[in-house]
Structure 1
Amino acid sequence: MSTADDAGLQITPLMQKLLATDGFLRTDNGGYELRAVYNEQTLHIKLSRMEPFALACYAGMVSEVSKAIGNGSAPRLDGTATPFRLGYAALVVLGSQRLEEGPPGSGYHVETLKCLLAHGCPPDVPDICRCTALQHACMITFTNPTLISTLLAHGASPNHQDIYGRTSVWGAMMCFSGKTVDMLMASGADLGIRTADGIEFSEIYTSYGPDIAAVVPKWLRARAGKMAPRETRECAVCSKTQESMKQCSRCHSILYCSLECQRLHWQTHKSLCQAF
C-alpha cells in the first residue's frame, strides 16, 4: 500500500508488538495501550490520503460507490483498505461517526452501507484488532441505529470477539444503550462470552443503567421460556392492571399493583432480582 493510500494510519512498533500476541489481549497486558493508539489514529483519518473507493465509503458517497461497483472499478468488496485493514462496511460506519464535513455528495452512510451489503460486501470483515463494522457501530452513542439494524439484518454476528475478547454488547453497554442491547439480543447475542479479562456481560450489566437492567432480564426470561418482565403493565402476582403501578426498587424490571403483592412475590422473585 502506498503512502498516498494509508489514510494517515500507521502501525507503530508498539502496535506491531502487541498485535503479534497470540490469543486475546488483557487490559493489563497491552490491551489498554493498543486501544489508546488505535483510537487516537482513527479519530484523525486523512481524506486526502485515502484511495477513491475507500474515501467514497468513508464519506457515504453512495452514488460513487454504486457507480464503481457497476462499472467494475471497485476493489473486491471482501477486501480491506488502509494499514489497519478496515473493511468497506467498517469504513462506512467510521465515517458516519467521525466525518464532520465531507466532499459533495457525501453523508449518505446508511444508503452506502445498504448498497455495499446488497452487492455482497461481507458485514464481518475484521481489522487488525479483529473489530468488525458492527462492533464499531455499537461503541459510539450517536451512531445511527439504522446502521446497526442493517448490519444485523445482513448477518453480522453479535458474538464476534475482537482482540480484547469483547463482543458488540460491550460497546453498547459502555454507551448505556438499552436499545442497542435489545437489538443485539434479538439477533442472538450471547451474554456468557468472557472477555480477555475474564468478565462476562451477564455478571455486570446491572451496573450500566436502568435501560440495560430492564432489557437484559426480559431476554433472559424469554430464552428460558418464561414471560418477559414488563412486556405488559400488569401485576406479577395477580395480573391486575392499573394506571399507577409499583416496581421493584432494586431491579426496576418487574411490576406490582400493591405492596401486599410485592411482599407475597418476594420469595419467588428474590433469586432473579439484581440491583441495577
Structure 2
Amino acid sequence: MDTTPPKDTARGAAVRAEGLGVEGARGWAFRHLDLAAEPGALIAVTGPSGSGRTCALLALTGRMRISAGHAEVAGLRLPRHMSAVRRISALAHVPGVSELDPALTVAEHLRERALLDRRFSGSPLTLLRPRRERAAKARARIDAALNASGLDVEELPKGLRTSVRDLERLETLRLSVGLALIGRPRLLAVDDVDLKLSDAEREQAWAMLRAVAADGVTVLAVCSQAPEQAVVVSTDERPKADDEAETATETDKEGADDAGTEAGRA
C-alpha cells in the first residue's frame, strides 16, 4: 500500500475534522469536534476557558496526538502525518509553547526566527549563495512578515531595540504572528486572539488575521467570541445523545441517592 502523503500545492491548507477528540491523564480535553474549511479560511475556535481550545489548536497543527476521530490538513492525515503537518504550520502566541522572551528585543526575536527558518526550512544549497544575497533574502522575508502582521517598528518606543516586555498587548500579538509568518506556513494557528484586548484592538487583531487569510494562508484562531465571516467551531459542543445519556446518568444517581436516604431513615 502506498503511504506517501497526498500532494497539495495550494498556498493555504484545507482543514477537515470529524469526531475529533484528545484525551489526557485527567480525562477528555475536548471531544466530538467537526470542522470543514477550505484553504485561506479564517477558522475561529470558540468555547469557554478550560474546554480544550488550545488542545484543539495543537492537535490540528500536528503537535498533540489525537485520541478519537480523524483529521486532515492539506490532505495530510492525522495522526499518521503529524510531522508533515508541523512542517506546513506555524504557531503564534501559544502560552508555554511559542511564547516570546520578554527580555529579548524585537530585533533579536526576528534575527533568531530568520536563522531558525534558514536552518530547518531552507535548502542546504542556499548556504552556497553569497552572504549578501542570503541576508537580503532574509530581510525581505522579515519585512513581508511584519507588513502582513501590521507591526510598524518605527512606532515602537525604541524601534527594533524595543524589548518585548515594553510592547502593548496588540503589538505583542502582531510580533508573534509576524515571527510565525517568516516561515511562510500554509496554516497559521494563533491562541487567545482577543484576550485582554479592548473592542478597538480586537477589531484590529481580526482585521490583521482576515488579511493574512485573504493572502491565502489558512488561519486557525482561538478566541472567546468569533468574528464575522469566520468558520466557527466550538470545543464545548457535544452530540445530543451524549447530553441525554449524561442527564439520564445524573437522574439515576439522584434516584439512587434518594433511595439511600430513605433506607437510612428506615
Structure 2-normalised TM-score?
0.29
Q: With a CA cutoff of 8 Å and minimum separation of 6, indicate the structure with the bigger relative contact order.
A: 2
Point out the structure with the larger strand share: 2
Normalising by the residue count of structure 1, what TM-score does the alignment of the two structures yield?
A: 0.28
